[in-house]
Amino acid sequence: MSAGFKVKALEWAPYIEPVEVANATGEQLAAMQVTPSNTKVSPYVRTLAHDPESYVARTKLFNAIMYANGGLDRADRELGALTASAVNRCVYCASVHARRYIELSDRSDVVEEIYMHGLGGSFEPKIQAIVDFCRTLSETPSRVTKEQVEALRGHGFSKSEIIDLIHSAAIFGWANRLMHVLGHSVPIEAK
Amino acid sequence: MDQIDILSGLEPASETYRARRERPEFVSGAELCRKTVLTPQNGFEISHAMRAALAARMARFIGREDLARTYDLMLDEAGINELLTTIAAAGDLPEDLDAFTVALVRQADLVTKTPRDSSRADIERLQAAGLSSPQIIALSELIAFVNFEARVIVGLSILELVA
């Protein structure tokens, strides 16, 4: 199955000048977790390190939502992230999380459907329930319906798992509003 | 109970409330993030009052009047004036408003409503209006946080209504 559709890895380039490690304040260095043995920091981290206070708090929350043990299957969290990123047209986030979703689920067919036909494509019922809920929550929160949440319950998701799904889509409502607003995706340069 | 419980209508005896407590890092993490964007120690000269006014405005555009009112209260405490009231109320801005404030409000409106249309030109407009790089990042984190929080509240509210 994994011989199927592939999503290209991309890099991200900011529209504003990132913090230079050499000129960073102590607070910025701590936020970027720069140590003598770790001085290579991505443009993304250096861009957000302009405001180290919010960067540190959000990173901790982001990691809990996407990587905490137990609860919703990690692949389904990635599908929530991918759905939000597709709604918000964050090409960079979509590429990262489409790839992670395929790694975790071996479902390149689902990603192919999203890339070829968009979120209005057709999916098997359980996947459809995740996509529909996360799509509406990302696009127009006021239009999320009880039926959408009941559909998730009907496919066996517990309330705890649905809380994880809500957070994974919502945190990409956040992440997309940084990555797609502050910069753009670029092809990876040949090294 | 915290702000997210109250605005989501969660009852402490409910399954949704208990399930939310299984993820204490989500609960405390969201509150810590709120502090860092609404009442940061270093606000880069975007005042707590302006942040609360922008948050109220964005919550109104998202359709959560209840969330907007919590930011109205925060604005009352931080020090209100006619302009901030207009911003918070999602009203039209006065024509003689300074370019810096116009840029803050415009960006909050656009990134809340149509994030997909964001481009380099929007960031250049912020720079032309005098925003520094730290101010652009701080504004972006504030906008993104309110959009996150509103979606968590919407999701939890509906989950509470479902068996």
State whether ipTM is beyond 0.95.
yes
- Give the integer Cα–Cα distance in Å for A63 and B33: 13
CB-CB under 8 Å, B154 with A53: no
Contacts B141 to A, Cβ<8 Å: 48, 51, 54-55, 58, 178
Q: What percent of chain A has pLDDT over 90?
A: 92
Is A57 within 8 Å of B32 when comparing Cβ atoms?
Answer: yes
> Is B115's CB within 8 Å of A166's CB?
no
Q: Please check the confidence at residue A33 and state whether its pLDDT lies above 70.
A: yes
For residue A39, the model assigns a pLDDT of 76
Per DSSP, what are the bridge partners of residue B120? Answer: none
B17-37 confidence digits (pLDDT tens): 999 999 999 999 999 999 999
Spatial distance between the Cα atoms of A170 and A155, rounded to a whole number of angstroms:
21
- Rounded CA gap, B105 and B99, in Å? 10
Which CATH number is A72-181 given? Answer: 1.20.1290.10
Angle A159-182/A52-67 helices, nearest 10 degrees? 140
Residues A178 and A85: their CA atoms lie apart, in Å, by 11
Does the pLDDT at position A2 exceed 60? no
Does B86 lie at the interface with A, CB-CB under 8 angstroms? no
CATH (domain of B30): 1.20.1290.10
CB contact at 8 A, A128 and A134? no
pLDDT, one tens digit per residue, over A54-106 is 999 999 999 999 999 999 999 999 999 999 999 999 999 999 999 999 999 99
Any B CB within 8 A of A163 CB: yes
* Residue A1, pLDDT score: 47
Band (pLDDT 50/70/90 cuts) for residue A22 is very high
Nearest residue in chain B measured CA to CA from A19: B133
Cα–Cα distance measured from residue B63 to residue B60, given in angstroms and rounded to the nearest whole number = 5
Quickly list H helices, A32-158.
43-48, 52-67, 74-87, 91-105, 108-117, 125-139, 146-154
**pLDDT of B98-152, one tens digit each?**
999 999 999 999 999 999 999 999 999 999 999 999 999 999 999 999 999 999 9
Domain that holds residue B58: 3-161
**What is the reported pLDDT for A191?**
55
Residues carrying CATH 1.20.1290.10, chain A: 72-181
Bridge partners, A186 (sequence order): A11
CA dist list (Å): A61 to A32, A71, A169? 16, 16, 13
Structure confidence at residue A40 (pLDDT)? 86
Q: Which residue of B has its CA nearest to A172?
A: B148
For chain B, how many structural domains are there in total? 1
| pLDDT for res A190 | 61
Q: Which residues on B lie below 8 Å from A168 (Cβ)?
A: none
Q: What is the pLDDT of residues A106-159, one digit of tens each?
A: 999 999 999 999 999 999 999 999 999 999 999 999 999 999 999 999 999 999
Contact partners, residue B146, CB within 8 Å, separation at least 6: B54, B55, B58, B59, B62, B67, B112
Mean model confidence pLDDT for chain B = 97
Residue B16 has pLDDT above 60, yes or no: yes
Q: Is A89 on the interface with B (CB under 8 A)?
A: yes
Task: Suggest the residue from A138, A139, A167 to mutate for an interface test with chain B (most B CBs closer than 10 A).
Answer: A167
Once rounded to an integer, what is the mean pLDDT over residues B72-88? 96
pLDDT at A174 over 60: yes
